[in-house]
A = this chain, B = another copy of it.
C-alpha cells in the first residue's frame, strides 16, 4: 500500500491507509492508548485498540520509526477531528534510549548548549523544522526574484589565495604545502562575474574567523549575494534589493503559510518602496529627536539603529529603512564615493526592525580608481589583487550589489534571541560539532 502523509488523512475517511513516521508520543487516556505519529507534514492520532497492536509497541520509546496501517475515522474529539483505528504497526527502527530532551512538548525545553549538542535530533521538533523550512523558503524566494530580474546564478571558489578585504579574520588552510584561505565573501568574484553575466547572484557559505562570542556572530554562515552592472548608482541596487526582500516575503506568505503559523511569525511591513535616510541626516535626526549628538561619528551605534527603525515604522509604516551614504572611512576600499560629497559613499545598509540586515552599495569600476583607492589605504603589495584589478583594466561597467546573511534574516524575522538558533549546525569559537 502506498504511504500517505498525515495531512492527507481527511481525504481518506473510512479507508484503510498506510502512514509512516516517528513515534511522537504514546499516551494513556482513560484506559485507552493513543499513539501520536509524526511525519514531515504533521501528526496523526492512532488509537491502539487491540492487545496485538499494543504489544507490538512493547518497550519502544519516542522517535521509534514505524509505519501504521489502519482505518481513518472521523472523531470530533480527536485533534484535527480524525483518528486512525485498528492499527497494524511495522517497526522500521526501534528506539530504546531516552531522548536528551523531549520532542513532543510545544517547545523544546533545553539549554542552548544542550540543544546544540543534540541538534541532530533536536531539529526534528516541529517548531525547529518549521524554522528551517522558512530558511529554505528565503533562499527560494531570493533566487526566484533575481532569476525574474535576469540575474544568473554563479558558484565561486571558497578556497582562495589571499584574503578578500583585509588580512584579518580569515581561516588558513594547508593547501598542498601552500597557504590558502577560506573566502570571507564572494565579493571579488561576483564583481568579476558582472563582466560576464551583467547580473549575478550566489547562495553559498562564507567563513569569518572573527573571535567574537556574541549572540549575533557565527563563523560560517550562508550569504545571499547579488551584484549588477550598468547601474546609475547605488539607488538602482536598492531598488533591486527592495524587490528581493518583498519577493522573499511574498514567497513565504504564499508557499510557507503553515510554517509561519507554527513559529508564530508576524511578517514585516514592507511597503513598495522602503524609506531612505542619508547618513548625516540620520545623525541630525538623532540629535533633534533623542538629544544624542553623534554627528561626525563614522558609524551608527546599535541604539541609533533601533531609534531609526522605530521612526521608520512610525513615520512610514515600514519595518525596513535604508540608511545611505556611510562615511568612506568605514567602508571597504572598493566602495564608490558619493561624487557630490566624496567623504561619504554611495553605499547603504538596510535596517530591518532597527537592526542591520543587508549591506551594499556601488563599487568603483575604473582601474585608475582602484589603484588610487589601494594607495590611499596604504596597500603596498598589490600582487593579491592582480587578477581582480585586471578585470577593471579590461573594461567593467558601473556596478554594485549587496549581501544578506541568511541566518540573521531568520533571526530578525522570528525575533530569535541567538543566531545559533537560526543555524542548523552552528560554528563558533567553541563549537565545531555536530
Interface of A is mostly: mixed
A238-246, A293-301, A372-380, A390-398: which lies at the B interface? A390-398
Interchain CA distance A136-B205 in the complex, whole Å: 17
Minimum CB–CB distance for A158 against chain B, Å: 5
Q: Indicate which residue in B99, B159, B396, B434 contacts A207 across the interface (CB closer than 8 Å).
A: B159
Q: Indicate which residue in B152, B160, B172 contacts A136 across the interface (CB closer than 8 Å).
A: B152
With A93-B366, A394-B63, A424-B154 known as contacts, the answer to whether A173 contacts B176 (CB < 8 A) is no
What per-residue 1/0 map shows which CB atoms of A178-207 lie under 8 Å from chain B?
101010000001001101111100011101
Copy tally for this chain in the complex stands at 2
Q: Indicate which residue in B40, B133, B160, B174 contacts A432 across the interface (CB closer than 8 Å).
A: B160
- Tell me the chain A residues, 71-110 only, with Cβ under 8 Å from chain B: 92-93, 95, 97, 99
Contact A394 B205, beta carbon cutoff 8 Å: no
Interchain CA distance A220-B63 in the complex, whole Å: 37
A121-129, A280-288, A304-312, A332-340: which lies at the B interface? A121-129
Contact B176 A174, beta carbon cutoff 8 Å: no
What per-residue 1/0 map shows which CB atoms of A148-188 lie under 8 Å from chain B?
00101111111111100000000111111010101000000
Contact B139 A153, beta carbon cutoff 8 Å: yes
User: Residues of A within 8 Å of B, CB-based: how many?
Assistant: 91
Interchain CA distance A207-B117 in the complex, whole Å: 25
A262 within 8 A of B: no
A388 within 8 A of B: yes
